[in-house]
Each structure stands twice: as C-alpha cells, then as structure tokens.
Amino acid sequence: FMLDRAFRVLDPLIPRAMRARALRRAERWTIERLNGEDGLGAIFPAMVNALEMMVLLGYGPDDPRRVTAKRALEKLVVEQGDRAYCQPCVSPVWDTGLACLTLQALGDNESLAGACRGLDWLLPRQILEPVGDWRARRPAVRSGGWPFQYGNAHYPDLDDTAVVAWSMHAAQGRERYAHSIGRSLDWLVGMQSDGGGFAAFDADNTHYNLNYIPFADHGALLDPPTSDVTARVVTVLARAERPQDRPALERALAFLRREQEPDGSWFGRWGTNYIYGTWSVLVALEAAGVAATDPAVVRAVEWLRARQNADGGWGESNDSYDRARYGDRPFVSTPYQTAWAVLGLIAAGERASPAAHRGVEFLLRTQQHGLWSHPSFTAPGFPRVFYLKYHGYSAYFPLWALAAYRQGS
C-alpha cells in the first residue's frame, strides 16, 4: 500500500505519449483475444470488462467488435419463465468429460457407446494450433489441450485436458483417439511447474507478491499449482503408462505428498473443498500404484471417516475456504460431496468399509426421479469471492460413485 501511494503521487508525471502507448498495447492485446461470441476468456468478468473497455475507448454501438462482445454476454443469460440469471461461463467440455467417465464406470454396452459419442464430440475441440497465453512460459511445448467452454483457444486448461484424455484412454476402441491422447499428454507434461505440481492454465505462475496489489483485493490474481489439478494429471499419466512421463509423474506425486494437510485432507481449489481435493488425490494415488497402507492414504481415509454425517452422507460448505474465520463448520450432506467421499474411499481400498456402505445408502435414499439435486454451490470461481453451481454435479457424480461401488473399483 505504501508503493501504491507512491505511484499515485508519481502518476501525473508519466508522459502522455508513454501512457498512450501503454493504452494502445493493452487495447491491441484485448482485441486480439475477443474470441467471437464465446467472449474474452469465455468468462463473464473478462467479457464485461472488454465491453466496458470498448465503450470507454469510444467504440461506437454499431462497431462489429462491440456488438459481438455484447452478444457474448447476452448468450450467458438464462431465462426461465419470469426469472433470469447470468451464468459466469459455460462448461460443456468439463461436463462432457466427466459424464463420459461416469458412463464408462457403468460399463454396459449402451453406456460405453454413449461415452464414445461424447468423446467423438470432444475430439475436434482439442486445441492443436500454436496459440495461447500459456506459451509465454512454455514456448517450446506443442499445443494439445482442451478448454472449459465451447471455444477458448487462448486458454485451454489442464484439468479439462486431463479428464478428457483419461476418458479417451479408457474408451473402447481407443486407437482412434491415440493421436489426440498423445498430444494432450505431451502438453500436460510440458506444463508442469518447477515444484512438480500443475496449475489450471499456466506454469510457474507463482509471483505471490502480485496478490498484494490494491486492485487484487480478491487475492486470486495468480494460477499456482494445486492438489486437485495435479491429481487429475497424475491420474491420466499413471493410467497411460508412458515411460517418458515417469519423471514428471514422480515429481507430481512428491508435490501431492507435500501438499497434504496436517489433518490428512487435501485442499480443493476448483471444487468445494477438502472433500473434493481428497477424493481427487486418492484417485490419483491409486492410479499411480500407491498402496492403501501408505501413511498418506491412511490419514486421508481417517479424515473422511471423521467427516461423515450421521445420515451417512458428507457435506462441506464454502465457508471452509475461510477456516480462520469459520473453522470446520459441519454442513448438511450433499449428493455430490457424498459421491466424492465414496469414490475416494473406494480408491483407497475401503469399498467394503461401513463408511462407504453408509454413503451409498445415503445416495440410494436421496435419489429422486432418477437423479439427485441440491441447492448449494459446488465450487469456487475465486475462493472467498464468488462461487459456482455446476448443475451436473448432483447427477453424474452420484451415479459414478454407485457404479464404482457396484463394480468394486
């Protein structure tokens, strides 16, 4: 804040020509990434800022770029009768990838065929062109990722890419996906950060001092490696069993061991929260061949057992992202968090445990009209700032957990 005050004093002394040049560069950078009707970054905050920028810089209301930016925002609005709401973004690649994994867990011919149809839809959406801001840190790495949304070529993410590659590798007739899988694994390995972990969009994006800039009051200006994303990458690398990936895999496993919380859980950056992170890592450890008797696995299982509610389910609120203020408040059981816990227990070799059985009973008891639902928000956009609701989470995750329980894996 002292630096901020100093810069405010110096601000009038900046030559006008220098300021104009900086504005032109920022404008050019933004216009290059407008991304058509999918929008800048394909997410509301960036999209609305891009439109406001054009208005302030004098782009007329009929300017095609301004019209397109406005249309991108309008496409996020969902109207339902006499009410409407604005989505922060859409998540078709993420939802489709997870739905495919769920269908594959079911294992019957109809479900497996459905998973392949989903993967065939995903196949041409892989970004193979040499574009993306991630290339600033990894210019020699070939593209090969998927975005979260329908179109977002500048910002593929590792979590979506790992999920899609995982499902493609598990598919019947996976030979037709071989090239796509190889490109995605190469990209994932190339995006590993120096500490062994993986972030969502970038590598080594860890200049934490930037979070203290006054306009970064949300404390999330960066994209550091996280346990949940690293776990997803570990899962697919371990399942693919490519010899060249072994060093990256070992470094990622070491990162996950370092990141385990003292209570045995793992933090979940992109899903609420410690239940999500713990499920993600337990699945990764199983895929990597870590024994159920490993101390890290044992501690995680003990944590999950201790968090089970009296009704057999699990629940965790977004207050857990501010433990200093709220501590570990109990929360009502939710279908999706119960599913994560059950999947984590199964991965840890606890399928036959009373805890897993009670979790499955909760899911069976709370199913309504073939599906599950819960009004809670399921993930953070930015922890302690705003949260998201993935409507699919209460549908496919419980089904995935029941399928895994039935199959015994």
Residue 335: inside a domain: yes
pLDDT at 9: 78
Report the C-alpha gap between 33 and 387 in whole angstroms. 25
- What percent of the chain stands above pLDDT 90? 87
Q: Identity (one letter) of the amino acid at 127?
A: I
What tens digit of pLDDT does each residue of 105-141 get?
999 999 999 999 999 999 999 999 999 999 999 999 9
Q: Answer with the residue of higher pLDDT: 225 or 409.
A: 225
DSSP state letters, 274-326: HHHHHHHHHHHHHHTT--TTSHHHHHHHHHHHHH--TTS-B---GGGGGHHHH
- 383: Cα separation from own chain's centroid: 13
240: Cβ contacts below 8 Å, ≥ 6 apart: 165, 169, 181, 185
Are 201 and 65 found together in one domain?
no
Residue 3: inside a domain: no
298 lies in which domain range? 92-407
386 by Cβ neighbours in 10 Å (0-12 / 13-18 / 19+) ranks as middle
Are 39 and 184 found together in one domain?
no
Q: Which two tokens stand for residue 166?
A: 């995982």
pLDDT at 326: 77
Q: Answer with the residue of higher pLDDT: 409 or 323.
A: 323
Closest CA to 206 of 218, 221, 192: 221
pLDDT at 409 over 70: no
Residue 5: inside a domain: no
pLDDT at 213: 79
Q: Answer with the residue of higher pLDDT: 98 or 3.
A: 98
- 67: Cα separation from own chain's centroid: 30
Q: Are 398 and 336 spatial neighbours (Cβ–Cβ below 8 Å)? A: yes
pLDDT at 57: 96
- What percent of the chain stands above pLDDT 70? 99
Closest CA to 302 of 261, 258, 331: 261
When pLDDT is cut at 50, 70 and 90, the band that residue 257 belongs to is: very high
**What is the total residue count of the chain?**
409
pLDDT at 93: 98
Q: Which two tokens stand for residue 323?
A: 């433990």
Closest CA to 242 of 176, 165, 164: 165
Rg (CA), the chain: 22
Of 159, 160, 202, 223, which residue is the catalytic one? 159
| Domain end residue (candidates: 71, 86, 101) | 86
Q: How many domains does the chain have?
A: 2
Are 129 and 182 found together in one domain?
yes
Residue 141: inside a domain: yes
pLDDT at 269 over 60: yes
When pLDDT is cut at 50, 70 and 90, the band that residue 64 belongs to is: very high
Are 136 and 20 found together in one domain?
no
DSSP state letters, 51-116: HHHHHHTT--TT-HHHHHHHHHHHTTEEEETTEEEE-S---HHHHHHHHHHHHHHH-SHHHHHHHH
7: Cβ contacts below 8 Å, ≥ 6 apart: none
Residue 7: inside a domain: no
129: Cβ contacts below 8 Å, ≥ 6 apart: 143, 153
pLDDT at 6: 74
Whether residue 159 lies in the annotated active site: yes
Mean pLDDT value across the chain: 95
Residue 24: inside a domain: yes
pLDDT at 275 over 70: yes
SS3 at position 129: coil
When pLDDT is cut at 50, 70 and 90, the band that residue 386 belongs to is: confident
Q: Are 371 and 391 spatial neighbours (Cβ–Cβ below 8 Å)? A: no
Average pLDDT over residues 292-296: 98
When pLDDT is cut at 50, 70 and 90, the band that residue 324 belongs to is: confident
pLDDT at 336: 97
pLDDT at 131: 94
Are 76 and 152 found together in one domain?
no
Q: Are 118 and 103 spatial neighbours (Cβ–Cβ below 8 Å)? A: yes
pLDDT at 367: 96
Q: Which two tokens stand for residue 14?
A: 């900046």
370: Cβ contacts below 8 Å, ≥ 6 apart: none
What tens digit of pLDDT does each residue of 22-63 get?
999 999 999 999 999 999 999 999 999 999 999 999 999 999
What tens digit of pLDDT does each residue of 4-22 get?
777 777 778 788 899 899 9
Residue 10: inside a domain: no
pLDDT at 12: 81
Are 37 and 177 found together in one domain?
no
| Domain end residue (candidates: 36, 59, 86) | 86
| Domain end residue (candidates: 60, 86, 112) | 86
